[in-house]
Amino acid sequence: MSGGWWRRNAIPLVAVAVLLPLTAGVVAFNEWSEYDLGHATKPVTVPAGDSADYAGAVIGPARAEFSSDDAAPEGTRVVTATVLVAPGDEPIACLSPVLRELDGAHRQWNEASFELDRDFSDDRRTSCDSEMAIRYSLSLDYLVPDDATGPFTIDLESGAGLPRYVSLVIAPER
């Protein structure tokens, strides 16, 4: 036996050196290629005052203003927003939209009706109603720090529209 162990095993070693990273790459691609299916990763940006078709419904326009509220903690203020929702053939379901800063630190806030001690009302909606087949509006309140001035986006996502989500641009009036 001549040539040593490395020479006798050259072909299997090359095969392992090629196939091991290739296998890892295929497995990673297979896992990450389906990531978008269950996550909101592709925004449909809607300029202020406009609307967009999304998940079989028309979402928007949205409007917002800064408002004062005695229930708001010191150092914060309230962004009150309204988003129109016009369901298509099928009603749309969505969670309560998130408010995001477009500039600066890109912070985000959840809807704050509970923190502001809003009374429950069948007429006030903070999320899409999967049983409403007629046009309605979402009434949203967000607690933001005093230094948050906008512009913002209201990000609304529905399982039927993923991986896309609607990002409605708003600039609250002072």
Any residues with CB less than 8 A from the CB of 172 and at least 6 apart, and which? Answer: 64, 65, 66, 79, 81, 150, 152
Question: Are 92 and 85 a contacting pair, CB within 8 Å?
Answer: yes
Q: What is the pLDDT of residues 107-152, one digit of tens each?
A: 999 999 888 888 778 788 999 999 999 999 999 999 999 998 889 9
pLDDT confidence tier of residue 52, bands split at 50, 70 and 90? very high
Q: Answer with the residue of higher pLDDT: 29 or 129.
A: 129
Quote the Cα angle for 17-18-19, to 5°. Answer: 100
Q: How far is 96 from 157, CA to CA, in rounded Å? A: 9
Domains of the chain (ranges, CATH numbers) = 4-33 (no CATH), 41-170 (2.60.40.1240)
Report the DSSP beta bridge partners of residue 100: 108, 153
Question: Could you tell me the pTM of the whole model?
Answer: 0.78
pLDDT tens digit string along 59-96? 999 999 998 888 889 999 999 999 999 999 989 999 89
φ/ψ of 63, rounded to 5, equals -140, 155
Residue 120 is predicted with a pLDDT of 78
